[in-house]
Amino acid sequence: MEAIGGTAKDRGKNIFVLGLLCSMFRLDKKKLVGIIEAQFGKKGEDILRNCLNAFDAGFAFQTTDLRQFQFAPGEAGHSKRLSTDGNTMLGLGLIAAGVRYGAGYPITPWSSIMELLRRELPKYGGVFMQAEDELAAVAIALGAAYAGHLAVTGSSGPGLSLKSETLGYASMAELPLLVINVQRGGPSTGLPTSVEQSDLLQAIYGSHGDSPRIVLAPKNVEDCFYIALEAAQLARRCSCPVIILSDQALATRIEAFPEPNLEEHWIEPELDLSDRGEEFKPYPIEGQTRHAPPGTPMHEGTFPKVTGLEHNEMGHPSGNPENHQMMNDKRRNKLVKLAADLPLPDVYREEDGEILLLGWGSSYGPVREACDRLRDKGLCASATHLRHLHPLPQQMGELMKKYEHVFVVELSDSGLYGNGQLATILRAAYCNPAIQSICKTDGLAFRVREIVEGVDQFLA
Amino acid sequence: MSDNKTAQPAEKLTKKQLKADHPTWCPACGDFAVLASFFNVIQKLELTQTDFVCVAGIGCSSRIPYFVNSHGIHFIHGRAVPLATGISLSRPDQHVFVFGGDGDGFSIGGNHLNHAARKNINLTYIIMDNFVYGLTKNQTSPTTPIGRRSKTDPNGSVDRPINPMMQLLGSGATFIGRSHATHVKHMNEIFERAINHNGFSVVEVLSECTMFYPGAFDAAIPRKGGEFNLIDEEVHDTACINDAFELAQLEFPGKFGVFYQDDRPSKNDLEQKWIDEVQGNLGDISQQDLMRKSFATMH
């Protein structure tokens, strides 16, 4: 930069690279110059001149040893397209899902969701509160849930650990709650700005006692929006916590996709204080728990209690052995019933039964591309992607049985017994020896090559 | 909301309507009187069961939601205040009452107490302080005096106890009262004033654990030779925090009454003000169109 009259301190390095990229990818030079003029023109002539010089220098830089790319001009489809990151779509998805209350505590890479909700929710008549710690954040959100709203809290791995006690309570008390976990490299403070999918077991099992909850994971930025809507529906249906496992790669990655149709994808928030009828029980053994929030009038004037002690159908503490067994069955069986209604994930490429690549979360793209490469090499490969991690779709075992090899591709450690976290669960659930792991924990997203090599190594 | 089928009380609730399970407390526990006083105040203020909610964490005193026939939630240890915060902020139509002991409030939940107080969340928190862990059978609590023997301090407690009034004044609570479970009329008065306060109102009630720390508060019971000294509000200015700090430093058993009251706006008021302002600026726009506006910035 100094060679063209600027100093290292001045703006210029990024603009130089922009010029270089413009020539490499044969981008519209006029348009880019226009953007630079609009952006830097108001900051003074000197700065603008410096920028344009840097841009030209980059554009004219010798690139003989670099590949040149040519893009075909895009065509505008019917719907408008958005380009943004996963955290933004998750935050907006929550609002579209009817969430108006929540609380959180800052932690990378979750913070930008709470910033969005804090800024946006007042426009929708809601409140998002910055709590003093993770324990308070989940408790505040659960308070709003008890009060009859759909509420959200969120964090990253270390914060989810702190919220665990209250998650167990929400399972026991059968309160709906949305919990976002934007995963990062762990354990402990770990790698706060790197990607990992190693909170799966924590999300499914993290608490004390048996505390069933639902765990979902979006597959790309667009899906962050729709998974929030689905999570809201499931939380209402099952009256239990629903954890959405996003990850650092999805949180910060920018993708382009069609704008969601809000007429179709919108849940109106509802506070139901209507009369629950004479037979109302907060914890019916045979039925689904539907709490009556504070303010709801009660027949016979007997008001319900919500509690973390084991309780009978009326919410009264009960240490009765049969009752505890029945209530544990009740809390588990609602998820068993849900599993029967969950659709199987789509299978990419033909289902002709040799190799199945199975991924979850942000590895959607590389897994599919790896599948294509394996096909190119003459291997009979298919790919699928799980969005419902707990419970698993009921037919999942049948789907995997069709394949000689199932490679579970995940960013978690292969553990003491050679299986990543999802593979461990799938093996335990289906006792299928075809299930193998392709794991890594280097803090980086999967490269296509790494997945292909994982398959090659196993088959060699 | 009610029809002729629902048995909603039309007027003042009777004690019978307010009572739920019989308390599981030990005979002569101070908490019985606190509960009775709470019923008195609910009756006097003519609140009905759809007007209020009882919230508690873990401890003997935290069992109260089971003993009050209203909506109630029994939560985990130390987090009753943030749970109540979520209810209070999202349901302005409800009076939110939090009940708990010294362990729940000053130890495991101490940080939440500080922050809910400074944020001035609109709720009423009644802390039944017995200077001991009773539910777990006689361990040292954050208010146990130095030298007092317990199962975790067999040679006597060595750690300086919390001074609840100093703690609460420092944290920024906007209504701070202190009472004693053997003086029901005094509790009635302080509870009523606490409930009528807009913002974070907290009352410490010395409530004797007859099982593990009998006689702890005799020094404030006249018939046992003690003195029950009231704060004279003709002299003490409840708006003056320096005076309140002075009162808080009196030797035990100190004085009883309202130490401090401040009418700064509650968090609930401030959040609602923000909502009103931002919605006023937006004008008449549907929520879906509002989100479409957000989408438009990403095209």
Model pLDDT for residues B116-149, shown as the tens digit of each residue = 999 999 999 999 999 999 999 999 999 999 999 9
* B272/B203 same-domain check: no
* B48/B132 same-domain check: yes
Query: Cα separation of A453 and A373, whole Å?
Result: 11
Q: Is the confidence at residue B2, as pLDDT, over 60?
A: no
Q: Is the confidence at residue B1, as pLDDT, over 50?
A: no
Give me the domain span that covers residue B130.
15-264
- Give B94's contacts in chain A (Cβ within 8 Å): 147, 294-295
- Give A84's contacts in chain B (Cβ within 8 Å): 298
Query: Cα separation of A234 and B297, whole Å?
Result: 30
Residue entry with tokens 């019989």: B22
SS3 (DSSP) at A251: helix
Report if residue B248 sits inside a domain.
yes
What pTM does this model have? 0.93
pLDDT band at B6 (very low <50, low <70, confident <90, very high): very low
* B277/B256 same-domain check: no
- Give B295's contacts in chain A (Cβ within 8 Å): 80, 82, 92, 259-260
Distance from CA of A146 to the nearest CA of B (A): 7
For residue A189, how far is the Cα from the chain centroid? 20
Q: Which of B85, B275, B288 has its CB closest to that of A262?
A: B288
* Cβ contacts from A onto B, under 8 A: 185
Q: Is the confidence at residue A325, as pLDDT, over 50?
A: yes
Q: What is the pLDDT of residues A331-344, one digit of tens each?
A: 999 999 999 999 99
Q: Which amino acid is at A434?
A: A
Summarize the confidence of residues A337-359 as an average pLDDT: 94
* B147/B44 same-domain check: yes
SS3 (DSSP) at A87: helix
- Verify whether the Cβ–Cβ distance B17 to A301 is below 8 Å: yes
Query: Cα separation of B113 and B80, whole Å?
Result: 10
Q: Which of A82, A88, A139 has its CB closest to that of B86?
A: A139
Mean pLDDT score of chain A, rounded to an integer?
94
Q: What is the ipTM of this complex?
A: 0.96
- Residue A187: which of A170, A169, A199 has the closest Cα? A199
- Give B287's contacts in chain A (Cβ within 8 Å): 124
Distance from CA of B235 to the nearest CA of A (A): 37
* B180/B273 same-domain check: no
- Verify whether the Cβ–Cβ distance A123 to B69 is below 8 Å: no
Q: Which of B20, B75, B87 has its CB closest to that of A147?
A: B87
Q: Which of B112, B282, B288 has its CB closest to that of A123?
A: B282
Q: Residues A307, B74: contact at Cβ < 8 Å?
A: yes
Q: Does B10 touch chain A (CB under 8 A)?
A: no
Return all residues near B247 (Cβ < 8 A) that are at least 6 apart: B165, B231, B236, B254, B255, B259
Q: Residues A97, A265: contact at Cβ < 8 Å?
A: no
Q: Residues A184, A172: contact at Cβ < 8 Å?
A: no
- Verify whether the Cβ–Cβ distance B76 to A84 is below 8 Å: no
Residue entry with tokens 């791995």: A157
Of the listed ranges A171-185, B9-23, B194-208, B272-286, the least confidently predicted one is B9-23
Report if residue B101 sits inside a domain.
yes
* B258/B271 same-domain check: no
Report if residue B194 sits inside a domain.
yes
Distance from CA of A153 to the nearest CA of B (A): 11
Q: Is the confidence at residue A5, as pLDDT, over 90?
A: no
* B218/B299 same-domain check: no
Q: What is the pLDDT of residues B213-225, one digit of tens each?
A: 999 999 999 999 9
Distance from CA of B77 to the nearest CA of A (A): 10
A212's tokens? 């069933």
Domain count, chain B: 2
Query: Cα separation of B276 and B296, whole Å?
Result: 24
* B254/B273 same-domain check: no
Report if residue B258 sits inside a domain.
yes
Q: Which of B94, B279, B292 has its CB closest to that of A123?
A: B279
* B140/B271 same-domain check: no
Q: Residues A166, A194: contact at Cβ < 8 Å?
A: no
Residues 30-69 of B with CB under 8 A from A: 49-53, 55, 65-66, 69
* B282/B208 same-domain check: no
Summarize the confidence of residues A283-301 as an average pLDDT: 93
Distance from CA of A162 to the nearest CA of B (A): 13
How much helix, strand and coil, in percent to the nearest 5, is found in chain A?
Answer: 45, 15, 40
Q: Is the confidence at residue A108, as pLDDT, over 70?
A: yes
Report if residue B296 sits inside a domain.
yes
Q: Could you tell me the CATH number of the domain that includes residue B32? A: 3.40.50.970
- Residue A82: which of B183, B82, B292 has the closest Cα? B292
- Cα four-point dihedral sign B151, B153, B155, B161: negative
pLDDT band at A11 (very low <50, low <70, confident <90, very high): low
Report if residue B8 sits inside a domain.
no
Summarize the confidence of residues A299-308 as an average pLDDT: 92
Report if residue B24 sits inside a domain.
yes
Residues 82-141 of B with CB under 8 A from A: 82-91, 93-94, 111-112, 114-115
* B292/B222 same-domain check: no
Return all residues near B287 (Cβ < 8 A) that are at least 6 apart: A124
- Give A173's contacts in chain B (Cβ within 8 Å): 73
- Verify whether the Cβ–Cβ distance A301 to B69 is below 8 Å: yes
* B72/B169 same-domain check: yes
Report if residue B3 sits inside a domain.
no
SS3 (DSSP) at A146: helix
- Give B279's contacts in chain A (Cβ within 8 Å): 122-123, 125
